[in-house]
Amino acid sequence: MTEAYPLRRSDTLSLPLRVAELPGRGEVRFQLTPDTGARAALAKDLGIERVRKLVFGGTLRPEGRHDWRLEGTLGATVVQACVVSGAPVTTRIDVPVSRLFLRRMPEVDALEAEIPEDDSIEPLGSILDPGAVMVEALALELPDYPRAEGATFESGDVAGPEGGEPVRRTPFAALEALKRDLE
């Protein structure tokens, strides 16, 4: 039976836990619910308009004698600009997050090595910070090309001036525009 320790909470983007102070048995529960200021700073760092909601909760538990496993759930509501129109696009993210922190990382012998299939393995340092895992997981889950409902993007077009039609771009479009401006 796994012993549970008190819930560790934070309203910031960080919850540093010293590995040497973690219990050798049982699990450490955590919950991060960053406040408005922390979410605004994160949105700026991620280059998005807004992080409306953000919660990351889960457990840290020993894995063997020296390693630690983090299991959690990330829930977020983010607002990004549409890649076509610039209109705000709201996205809800709810994903499981898992990391295995290893005291000794597997060694790579070859000069050229492939990226391992298991991308949840991390080196174990003296501090485990579920907040750092939360920020990384959110950054990886953000849509690369958010698109507002009904926004269409034709190949070769870019959004025109506000409220205007998309402008056709060809390799010589910039030269053509420069020529018009000079005349």
Q: Which of 8-12, 65-69, 105-109: highest mean pLDDT? A: 8-12
Question: Does 3 fall in a domain?
Answer: no
Q: Helix, strand, coil % (nearest 5) of the chain?
A: 20, 35, 45
Question: Same domain, yes or no, for 128 and 166?
Answer: no
Question: Same domain, yes or no, for 57 and 115?
Answer: yes
**Pair of tokens at residue 29:** 């529960």
Question: Does 39 fall in a domain?
Answer: yes
**Which residue segment(s) compose the domain that 174 sits in?**
153-183
Contact 120, 99 (CB under 8 A): yes
pLDDT band at 170 (very low <50, low <70, confident <90, very high): low
**Listed residue (38, 42, 30, 23) closest to 99, CA to CA:** 30
Question: Does 1 fall in a domain?
Answer: no
Contact 141, 93 (CB under 8 A): yes
Model confidence pLDDT, tens digit, residues 93-146: 999 999 998 887 766 665 655 555 556 777 777 889 999 999 999 999 999 988
Q: Tokens 């549409």 identify what position? A: 82
Number of domains forming the structure of the chain: 2
In the prediction, which pLDDT does 125 show? 78
Contact 59, 37 (CB under 8 A): no
Q: Indicate the average pLDDT of the chain.
A: 83
pLDDT band at 66 (very low <50, low <70, confident <90, very high): confident
Question: Does 144 fall in a domain?
Answer: yes
